[in-house]
Amino acid sequence: MPSPNGSQGKIMPRLSRRNLLHGLAAGSAAAALGAPNVFGQAQPNLVIIGGGFAGASCARAIRHEDPAIRVTLVEPSVQYTACPFSNEVIAGLRDLTAQQFGYDGLRRAGIEVVHQAAAGVEPAARRVRLLDGTELTYDRLVVAPGVDLRFDAIPGYSETVVEAMPHAWKAGNQTLLLRRQLEAMDDGGVVVIASPANPFRCPPGPYERASLIAHYLKTRKPRSKLIILDAKDQFSKQRLFEAAWQELYPGLIEWVSLSFGGRVSEIEPTTKTLVTEFGRQKADVANVIPPQRAGAVAAVAGVADQTGWCPIDPVTFESRLQPGIHVIGDAAIGGAMPKSAFAANGQAKACAAALVSLLRGRPPAEPKLINTCYSLVAPDYGISIAGVYRPKDGLLAEVEGAGGTSPLDASTSVRAAEAAYADSWFRTITGEVFA
Partner 1 sequence: MPGRGSDFARRALLWGAVLLGGMSVAPASAQAPAGARACSGCHAPAAAAMPVPSLEGRPVESIVADMRAFRSGERPATVMDRIAKGFSDEETRAIAEWLAGKDHAAPQP
Residues in contact with 116: Cβ distance below 8 Å, sequence separation at least 6, in sequence order: 74, 76, 130, 131, 132, 134
B/e letters for 57-69, b = 16+ CB within 10 Å, e = fewer, are bbbbbbbeebbeb
Least spacing, CB of residue 15 vs partner 1, in Å: 12
Secondary structure (3-state) at 157: coil
Least spacing, CB of residue 232 vs partner 1, in Å: 23
Long-range contacts of 93-97, Cβ-Cβ distance < 8 Å, separation of 24 or more: 93/212, 93/215, 93/379, 96/171, 96/172, 96/175, 96/176
Specify the residue, 193 or 343, whose C-beta has the smaller distance to partner 1: 343
Distance of alpha carbon 88 from alpha carbon 98, whole angstroms = 10
Which class for 305: exposed (0-12), middle (13-18), buried (19 or more C-beta within 10 A)?
Answer: middle
Least spacing, CB of residue 85 vs partner 1, in Å: 15
Specify the residue, 305 or 423, whose C-beta has the smaller distance to partner 1: 423
Least spacing, CB of residue 398 vs partner 1, in Å: 8
Least spacing, CB of residue 323 vs partner 1, in Å: 22
Least spacing, CB of residue 13 vs partner 1, in Å: 7
Nearest to 62 by CA among 126, 147, 140, 123: 140
Specify the residue, 151 or 421, whose C-beta has the smaller distance to partner 1: 421
Per CB under 8 A, residues contacting partner 1 are: 1, 7, 10-11, 13, 26, 30, 38-39, 41-43, 61, 64-69, 342, 345-346, 349-350, 353, 356-357, 360, 362, 365-370, 372, 384, 386-388, 390, 399, 401-404, 406, 414, 417-418, 420-421, 423-425, 427-429, 431-432
Specify the residue, 90 or 356, whose C-beta has the smaller distance to partner 1: 356
Least spacing, CB of residue 388 vs partner 1, in Å: 3
Specify the residue, 96 or 414, whose C-beta has the smaller distance to partner 1: 414
Distance of alpha carbon 195 from alpha carbon 95, whole angstroms = 24
Specify the residue, 26 or 125, whose C-beta has the smaller distance to partner 1: 26
Distance of alpha carbon 262 from alpha carbon 278, whole angstroms = 8
B/e letters for 256-273, b = 16+ CB within 10 Å, e = fewer, are bbbeebbbbeebebeebb
Specify the residue, 148 or 318, whose C-beta has the smaller distance to partner 1: 318
Least spacing, CB of residue 299 vs partner 1, in Å: 29
Count of CB atoms situated within 10 Å of the CB of 71: 27
Is residue 191 a contact partner of residue 185, using CB atoms and an 8 Å limit? yes
Q: Rounded to whole angstroms, what are the CA distances from 186 to 221, 228, 246? A: 7, 19, 24
Specify the residue, 282 or 427, whose C-beta has the smaller distance to partner 1: 427
